[in-house]
Amino acid sequence: MAAQRGQAHTGAVAGSTGAAKTPPQPPLVIPPTAPPATTPPAPGPGETDETTALPPPSSAAQQLYSAAKGDLLQIRMILKNGGSQSTVGSGFLVGASNLVLTNYHVVSQMALDPGVYGGEYIDTDGKTGPVELLAVDVLHDLAVVRVNREGSGYFQVPERPVRLTQGQYLYSLGNPLDLGFAISEGSYNGVVKRSFYDQLIFTGPINSGMSGGPSVTASGMVAGINVSKRRDGELVSFLVPVRYAQELLRRVAQQARPPKNFNPLIGQQLLAHQREMIDRLLAEPLSIKTMGPYRVPVRESQQLRCWGRSNFRLEAEYTADSVSCAMEAAIYVSDTQQTGHVSMTHQYLRSSSLHPLQFAVLASSQFRVDRLGASRDTRLTRPSCTEQFVQTASLPLRAVTCVRAYRKFAGLYNFTLLTASTDDAQASLQSRLDLAGVSFENGLRATRAFLSALGRVHPERRPR
């Protein structure tokens, strides 16, 4: 997914660009909600016109905004102690109901820590009221909340998916950076193939704070929900297709009362995601690439993209070539936790001039990983590791698997597999597989598949 939903949300943190060139860190995107940077400026001299009555709406955007503003809301997460806002996003009233659609990442604090955070809405007239969380869809980054007022019926979430043609105008509504409600015009440019779940490409500005707002066609039909943008691009934004919102609204209609604790529900959704993710990863045998005499498994697809790199021009006595494949998107759970991600890296080190002992020191230093994620990360247990010398079908190697469990989500684990070949005194193939947020069985399955696929092209000529 090109990066969005999950990472979509780094809030006001500085956006790094060019992430796509350094594969191990998934690139990604922007933040929709976030603490506001500034307060709205006072109207400039030309902005207030007290002399005449407003002219009748002329442009499409003008008409849309004036018709839609009554049903447009800003959603704020409120720290219960102290009552101050911690993040802000947007949302909209669905039809004439009291249900509001927004992004999961706008209300994630309320979903994960209901004791600490509450929610509040503000409409375009400045009226406020409480919000009640009814349902979340972590995988598509959607949530439904209930408010104490009803919509005018302007925003219709169609029963059937909206048909869009490339280049069609879309209008995105929301409250960017907490500066005030805004409408921005852009165009629809197809479906992202890179994301794990479909998202629409919206070529238009979406800023932090607009997340959860609607993007509508010129006729006022909701086409998608604002979710994220690429930080390394210009006007490359993403929408959640409205059909996922329809599914979520149907689920809300069926449930008698909202769950008290959303954590198990989120855990289940993450489990469903990893099932799909690992099934897709292992649907067919991993494809094999050759690095020198070694055969390395990779999976290259629309979702998993591979990048290669070499130290060729470095002034060094050794050569290091690496291939990294990583999913470009992860599932956003909270602003500090993203999961449901797979990445694999192979590094082929070799040297003809280094003494074997020197090469051993070099290979050892490359093989050493001091921390797997933050060791003080309290949402995960400490890593538990298994280390052995292992012989695969054609390659002896040193294998280390470290696993950490998620404390809040039963049945989810992070797996890391590190391997280093032990067949050559002057060459070393070092591979790494990271699986974030998978079940133990799937972690074992993927680890085994990856490990057993590592091999040598000509095993019979192995020096050992």
Q: Which chain residues interact with other proteins by CB under 8 A?
A: 315-318, 351, 354, 356-365, 367-372, 375, 378, 381-392, 396, 398-407, 410, 413, 418, 420, 422-425, 428, 440, 444, 447-448, 451-452, 463-464
Nearest-approach distance from CB 265 to other proteins, in angstroms = 18
Residue 451 beta carbon to other proteins: minimum distance, rounded to whole angstroms: 6
Shortest distance in whole angstroms from residue 58 CB to other proteins: 59
Dump strand ranges (E) for 175-314: 182-191, 200-203, 214-216, 222-229, 236-241, 287-291, 294-298, 304-310
Q: Name the residue among 395, 382, 412, 403 with its Cα closest to residue 447.
A: 403
Q: Give whichever of 173 and 363 is closer to other proteins, judged by the CB atom.
A: 363
**CB nearer to other proteins: pick between 246 and 452:** 452
Nearer to other proteins, 75 or 451 (CB): 451
CB atoms within 10 A of CB 315: 5
Nearer to other proteins, 258 or 383 (CB): 383
Q: How far is the CB of 6 from other proteins (least distance, A)?
A: 23
Angle at 399 between CA 463 and CA 337, to 5 degrees: 145
Q: Cβ of residue 402: shortest distance to other proteins, in angstroms?
A: 7
Residue whose C-alpha is closest to residue 333's, from 137, 108, 3, 49: 108
* Pair 224, 237: CB distance under 8 Å: no
The upper half-sphere exposure of residue 78, i.e. CA atoms within 13 Å in the direction of its Cβ, equals 17
Indicate the residue among 202 and 409 with the shorter CB distance to other proteins: 409
Exposure of 295 in the CB half-sphere (CA atoms within 13 A): 17
Q: Which residues of 52-88 are buried (b: 16+ CB within 10 A; e: fewer)?
A: eeeeeeeebbeebbeebbbbbbbbbbbeeeeeebbbb
Cβ 445 to other proteins, closest distance in Å? 10
Query: Which residue number, 29 or 363, has a Cβ lying nearer to other proteins?
Result: 363
Nearer to other proteins, 312 or 389 (CB): 389
CB of 442 to other proteins, least distance (A): 12
Closest CB to other proteins among 334 and 392?
Answer: 392
CB atoms within 10 A of CB 111: 25
13 vs 385 by CB, closer to other proteins: 385
296 SS3 class:
strand
CB 403 to other proteins: min, Å: 6
CB of 461 to other proteins, least distance (A): 14
Residue that has been written with the tokens 């050892």 in this structure: 364
Task: Give the integer Cα–Cα distance in Å for 402 and 20.
Answer: 27
Report yes or no: 334 and 108 within 8 Å, Cβ to Cβ: yes
Q: Which two tokens stand for residue 260?
A: 């008290």
CB-CB contact of 421 with 395 (8 Å): yes
